[in-house]
Structure 1
Amino acid sequence: MFDHVKFGVSDFAASKAFFLKALEPIGITIVGEGVPSYGVELAAGGETSLCLHQTNEKPAHLHLAFVAENRQQVDAFYRAALEAGGKDNGAPGVRPNYNATYYAAFVIGPDGHNIEMVCHKPEA
C-alpha cells in the first residue's frame, strides 16, 4: 500500500540509532541519507521504506507496525528495541483479542511513538 512513510523526530541521531537497532532483526538498513532536516531512508531491500527527519515541530504520536516473518523476529525486535532505549509497551506474545495467531511486541520509541512488530503466522 505505501511507497514510504516519513515523519519528523525531535532527536534525529537518537531516533536513527533506535530504529536501526530495533528493526535490525527484519533486515532494515540505511538505503539513503541526507542532512538531518532531509532525513534518512530505511528499508529491507523492498519497495517500501521508512523515512525519518529532524524537526522542531511536535508531531502527534504514531503507531507503526512492522511485519515479521516469524515469531523469533518479534522476540529479537523486542530485545533490540529495549537495548536501544525503547520502553516496554507489551512483551512478545499472542494477542487473541486481535486473532488466534497475532503474535506481537510493542515498545515506545524516543518520541513516544508506539512501535510494534507482528507475525500473523501460527507458531512453527
Structure 2
Amino acid sequence: MFDHVKFGVTNYEVSKAFYLRVLAPLGVVAGAEGAPSYGVELYVPGGQASLCLFQATEKPARLHIAFVAATRSQVDAFYRAALEAGAIDNGPPGIRHQYNASYYAAFVIDPDGHNIEAVCHGGES
C-alpha cells in the first residue's frame, strides 16, 4: 500500500541492527545507506515498499507499523527474533478475532517505543 515509510530513531546503529534482525524472518534486507542523518532503506528483494530509518535528535511520536508475513510461521519467527533483539512483548502470536477470523499477528515494542506488528491474513501455507 505504501512506497516507503521513513522515520527517525534515537540510536541509529541500535535501531538498524534491531530491524534487520527482527525483519529477517520476513525476508527483509538492507539496501541503500548513507550517513546516519540520511539513513538506510530496508526492503524485501523484488518488493514494492521499503522502510527507511535515520538518526534523529528529537524523539518521534509513537508509530504503529504492520509488516506483511506470508505465513503464520513467519509471524512466530518475527516475534521470537524481536524478543531476542530486546523488544518488549506487546501481544504474542495468535488470531485476532476482533479484526477477522484469519488475522494472525504478533506485536512488539521497538527500542524507540514504536508498536511493530507482523501479520498474516491467511492460513499457514
The bucket for the TM-score relative to the shorter chain is over 0.9
Amino acid at match of 2:71: N
Tell me the SS of whatever aligns to 1:23.
Answer: helix
- Structure 2 partner of 1:116: 117
In 1, the alpha carbon distance for the partners of 2:34 and 2:84 equals 26
2:55 maps to 1:51: no
Unaligned runs of 5+ in 1: none
The size of the alignment, in residue pairs, is 124
Tell me the alpha carbon deviations over residues 54-112 of structure 1, each in whole angstroms, 9 at most, x when there is no partner. 00112100000000000000000000001111000000000001100000000000000
In 2, the alpha carbon distance for the partners of 1:107 and 1:99 equals 20
Q: What percent of counterpart residues are identical?
A: 67
Structure 1 residue ranges (4+ consecutive) displaced by more than 4 angstroms after TM superposition: none
In 1, the alpha carbon distance for the partners of 2:43 and 2:106 equals 20
Tell me the SS of whatever aligns to 1:5.
Answer: strand
Unaligned runs of 5+ in 2: none
CA RMSD of aligned residues (A): 0.8
In 1, the alpha carbon distance for the partners of 2:61 and 2:112 equals 9
TM-score (norm 1): 0.97
**How far apart are 1:52 and its partner, in Å?**
0.1
- Structure 2 partner of 1:74: 75
In 1, the alpha carbon distance for the partners of 2:2 and 2:53 equals 15
Tell me the SS of whatever aligns to 2:32.
Answer: strand
In 2, the alpha carbon distance for the partners of 1:81 and 1:123 equals 21
In 2, the alpha carbon distance for the partners of 1:47 and 1:34 equals 21
TM-score (norm 2): 0.96
**How far apart are 1:122 and its partner, in Å?**
2.3
